[in-house]
Amino acid sequence: MFDATTILAYKGKNKAVIGGDGQVTFGNAVLKGNATKIRTLYKGKILAGFAGSTADAFNLFDMFEVHLENTKGDLLKAVIEFSKEWRKDKVLRRLEAMMIVLNKDNIFILSGNGDVVEPEDGSIASIGSGGNFAISAARALAKHSDLDEEAVVKESLMIAGELCIYTNQNIKILKIED
């Protein structure tokens, strides 16, 4: 896990939503409280979030977007090709970084080890230092409340921000709706 962020994604019935906190830390110091660690890709049809070095995130997002273009937005094909490239690149595979990517149909966690993981439930994924707090809250809220996908992500990240010292409550959310 990475001591710097919390990213949570939820692919629900009506929306695909991703959210992230804004805290950037260096050791035991907070460098920034309002960073953006999520973005839309491929004509607004794909959502992505990153845990790890910010400089590396820009390179990885750019690389992934090339694969999305080459596959005409086919998320499954793009994640497989991207993971192969990420794993083969001697510099990139040493990054301690992870990504979540999703659209209305699929959600995946990606790593430099070549991992392409689809969450067991197929709908909720998290990465980062506060990821376990966020996903626990999201699973409970999704199952036991009437909150929509966006509210589940926001409230779960707020809970993670209360528990994880590397996560703040300056939450940013992106969504894709039907």
The alpha carbon of residue 96 and the mean position of all alpha carbons in its chain are separated, in whole angstroms, by 14
Q: How many residues does the chain have?
A: 178
- Cα–Cα dist 93/111, whole Å: 8
CA 111 – CA 84 distance, rounded (Å): 10
Active-site residue, from 5, 6, 25, 167:
5
What are the start-end ranges of the E strands in the chain?
6-11, 15-20, 24-26, 29-32, 38-41, 46-51, 98-102, 107-111, 116-117, 124-128, 172-177
Q: How many CB atoms lie within 10 A of CB 40?
A: 14
- Reference 124, options 5, 47, 46, 16; nearest CA is 16
Asked about 5 being catalytic, the answer comes back as yes
- Asked if 33 and 43 count as a contact pair (C-beta separation under 8 A), the reply is no
Please give the backbone phi and psi of residue 158, each rounded to the nearest 5 degrees, phi first.
-65, -40
Which positions are catalytic? Answer: 5
